[in-house]
Amino acid sequence: MIEAKNLCLRYADGTLALHDINLHVEPGELVYITGPSGSGKTSLLKLFMGVEFPTSGTLKVLDHAVTKGQASNIRRLRMALGPVFQDFKLVKGRSSLENIMLGMRFFGFSSREIKENAREALIRVGLEHKAESLIENLSWGESQRVSIARAVVRKPALILADEPTGNLDRDNALNILEILKACKNEKTAVIITTHATHLINENDGRLIRLNGGAVERTDELK
Amino acid sequence: MKHLLNNADYFLKEVKAIVRINLLSNILSFISTALIFFILAMVISGWWMSNHVIAVIQGEAEINAYFAESISSAEVIQLADAIKRIDGVREAQLINEGQAYARMVEILGKEARVLEYFDENPFSPFIEIKIHLERMDAVLAELHLLSGIEHVRDNRDVLERLRNLAGIIRFLGYLIVTAVGISTLVIISHIIRQGIDNNREQINTLRLLGAPESFIAFPFLLVGLLLSIGGGILATMLAAYALRYVYAQVAGPLPFIPLPPRETLVLNLIILIASLSTFLGIAGSLFGLFAAKNNQ
Ligand SMILES: Nc1ncnc2c1ncn2[C@@H]1O[C@H](COP(=O)(O)OP(=O)(O)OP(=O)(O)O)[C@@H](O)[C@H]1O
Ligand SMILES: [Mg+2]
């Protein structure tokens, strides 16, 4: 599902954000990526989404090679992903439901299917009572849940959630992690970056610790 | 195409949002597009009308030959026969004083009252000669050789002047069509670019979600079409109204000017403006989209 070999990313200003990353993720896996600020967590997810491209090494995500200059290939990769952004990237002036629908409007579903799926996703994150609320009127945690619903509604093969627990109190953070973990199934893998390692009480999955752009250690959670 | 139908409600909302975010510019663009198309419609109508007038007058190419009053009516008939034999003449017919008077009454319409001020019929009899237009010069030359003809009146002068006028109107037409094309393209593409700039964030999000470019661009194309077709419709309505006024002004006091049927004229205008505004709307939006893309 993800196949990274000797992956390096150097930004245009010379910052070496990632180096020598070797990573293999199977369908149905749950992977936590942690590490101090600036260790390269977001950069790694950007590579997975084809927002940045490897400066050296190779990266394959969902059978799509992540290389520069292959716009349609990258677009198809992105269609198969369920991204949850650190800053949500929800459309203001629109309701929660409309934002979730936007996640699957270009998949060829009928307008009824789009609406029904969006409602289901909203129920899944426990926000059915906020269907018609405008994005700018939602709390931080609610916005986070809408953005997860927008990812989930796409029935993605891979969910990439960047810092979904940031800025949330303990209860809310746990709630978000529960929702994300519940998205994992035999076909869907989930990758979550987080600072909040103390909230991970997992008996399943992997914890990858980045430091200075390299993998410092990997723990199998048992 | 399926995307588009399934998401019709979304696209309409997007169009509303794009227009509302910059309402004043959009309204002004709409009005100026309408005015530009209106000016185009009026100049094109003038062009079509003058062409029609020329075609009708050309079709009625005729020469009036006036003869000396001294010659007898038998000689006049002989003269008419001689004229008929000239190559290029289709018909030659004697019009006597009474008929000449009746015709003028018809041409003047309501204004025919002025004729009542004459004590006696001021018109002279003449021979009306219908000819083949391309033989006009040859026929005129031969007419001058016939004895008994005092002077000849033809409508070459009028035709020549009309042609010049039509030439000017056509030239104006070309200028206006060019101006309309350029300014509509500039207005529409500019407004589309502005819309895209105002929606950068959302467009970026859609790209991250893997939306096809056509899906992202479609609402902007709709806005461009809305502006130009909307402007075109408004312009056509204004033009139809203005033409009704022009026809009312011309047809009453100047009944002898052969105008094309107003319904045909308006119908042609509708077809022309509809296709032009659709084309310019699409082209303008695409320009705007490409400009925004190269600029990102
Ligand atoms: N666009 C960019 N251009 C240059 N340098 C960048 C860019 N984005 C990130 N960096 C640098 O790359 C390194 C890794 O950044 P990244 O955002 O991946 O860290 P992170 O682990 O996500 O941090 P945080 O926990 O604070 O979100 C940092 O040193 C950062 O300053
Ligand atoms: Mg980060």
**Please, are residues B132 and B88 in contact by the beta-carbon 8 Å criterion?**
yes
Q: What are chain B's domains?
A: 2-57+160-294 (no CATH), 62-154 (3.30.70.3040)
pTM of the model: 0.81
Indicate the helix (H) or strand (E) that contains A220: strand A214-220
C-alpha of residue A38 to centroid of ligand 1, in Å: 5
Contact by Cβ (8 Å): B188, B284: yes
For B204, the closest chain A residue by CA position comes to A89
- Give A81-91 pLDDT, tens digit per residue: 999 999 999 99
CB contact under 8 A, B6 and A51: no
* Residue B178 CA, ligand 2 centroid: distance in Å: 54
Work out which ligand 1 atom sits closest to the CA atom of A35: 21
The pLDDT of residue A96 is 96
pLDDT of residue B296: 60
**Which stretch of A62-66, A174-178, B134-138, B263-267 has the lowest confidence by average pLDDT?**
B134-138
Highest mean pLDDT among B133-142, B207-216, B255-264: B207-216
Helix (H) or strand (E) holding A118: helix A111-124
Which residues make Cβ contacts (< 8 Å) with residue B251, sequence separation at least 6? B259
Q: How far is B31 from chain A (nearest CA, A)?
A: 28
DSSP-assigned letters across all residues of A132-188: TSBGGGS-HHHHHHHHHHHHHTT--SEEEEESTTTT--HHHHHHHHHHHHHT--SS-
- Note the pLDDT tens digit of each residue in B238-285: 999 999 998 888 876 666 677 888 889 999 999 999 999 999 999 999
Residue A39 pLDDT greater than 90, yes or no: yes
